[in-house]
Amino acid sequence: MVRTRRHTVLPGFRLTMGYTIFYLVLIVLLPLLTLPIRSWELGWSVFQATVTDPRVLASYRLSLGAALAAAAINAVFGLVVAWVLTRYRLPGQRVIDALIDLPFALPTAVAGITLTTLYAPGGWLGRHLAAWGITVAFTPLGITLALVFIGLPFVVRTLQPVIDDLDLEIEEAASSLGATRWQVLGRVVLPYLSPAWLTGFALAFARSVGEYGSVVFIAGNMPMRTEITPLLIITQLEQFDYARATAIAVVLLLLSFLLLLLINGLQSWAGRRLST
C-alpha cells in the first residue's frame, strides 16, 4: 500500500483500486462468506463430523484427484491442439476452431448424457473398450473423461494468443545454434508458454472441481467409489440440510483455493523470469 502515496503519471490508482475491491467483495466474496456463516450453525463438532465422514473424504479425494488429472491431460493435449491450430493452416480451420468452444456452450447435462451413451458398457465405444477389459462409465476414469471434455477450451483458448505471439525467429535462432527440435521446444518454446500454460491448467482445474452436470451421469454415483463432492452437496440440499451442504462446500472451496494459490505462485515465478 506504499504505492498509493507515490505519484505516478497514470492517474486513478485509488479510484480503480477501490472499485476493484468493491466489485470483488460484492460479486465474489460476499456470497462466499455466507458459506462459513451458514455452516457455523452446525457447531464445531458436527461440522467436523460432517467433513471428516469417510464418504465425504472419499468424495474430496475423487473430486480433486479427477480434476487434477483432467487438467493435466488437458494441459498436454490442449497444448498440442492450440499449437496445431495456431501454427498450421488446416482445411476447415474455422470449423475446427469453433468446435473447441462447444464444451463451453453445451449444457453440461447434455454432455453428460452423450458421454454416458458413448461409454456405457453397451454404448458405441464402451462395447469395444469392454472387450479390452476397460470400463469407462461409472468409474473414476469416466469422471476424468467428462472433466477433460469440459476443460479443454480453457487450455486451448489461453494458449492460442501466446503461441500466436511467439516469434518464429526465436525458434530459428535456437536451431541455428545447433538445438534439436526437442531442445527448441523444451528450452525455448515451453518456457515462453509456461505462464499461459499454467493459467489454462488452473482454469481447467477450477472448472472441473465444481463440475456437476456432465459428471453425474457418467459417474454412476456409487458411495465411496464414484461420488463427487458437488453431488454430495446437492444430496444434502435436496434434504434441506443447508448447513451440512455448506460445510462440505467450505472445505472443498478451501482446498481448491490452496491449490489455485500454489498454481498462481508457480505462474508468477515463471512469468517473472520472462518479464524482467
Q: Could you give the CA distance from residue 26 to residue 92 in angstroms, rounded to a whole number?
A: 43
172 binds another protein (CB under 8 A): yes
Nearer to another protein, 4 or 176 (CB): 176
89 binds another protein (CB under 8 A): no
- Of 259, 218, 216, the C-alpha closest to 238 is 216
Nearer to another protein, 51 or 196 (CB): 196
Cell readout for 211 is: 463440475
Minimum CB separation of residue 16 from another protein in Å reads 26
Query: Can you tell me which of 4, 105, 176, 238 binds another protein, judged by CB under 8 A?
Result: 176
166 binds another protein (CB under 8 A): no
Nearer to another protein, 118 or 179 (CB): 179
Q: Which one of the spans 28-36, 83-91, 171-179, 240-248 is the region binding another protein (CB under 8 A)?
A: 171-179
Minimum CB separation of residue 8 from another protein in Å reads 21
- Of 214, 182, 8, 264, the C-alpha closest to 111 is 214
Q: Pick out residues in 192-221 that bind another protein (CB under 8 A).
A: 192
Q: Pick out residues in 214-273 that bind another protein (CB under 8 A).
A: 273
Question: Amino acid identity of 155?
Answer: V
Query: Can you tell me which of 37, 177, 254, 258 binds another protein, judged by CB under 8 A?
Result: 177
49 binds another protein (CB under 8 A): no
165 binds another protein (CB under 8 A): no
Q: Which one of the spans 44-52, 164-172, 213-221, 230-238 is the region binding another protein (CB under 8 A)?
A: 164-172
Nearer to another protein, 186 or 265 (CB): 186
> Under the rule (CB under 8 A), what is the footprint of another protein?
167, 169-170, 172-180, 183, 187-188, 191-192, 273-276
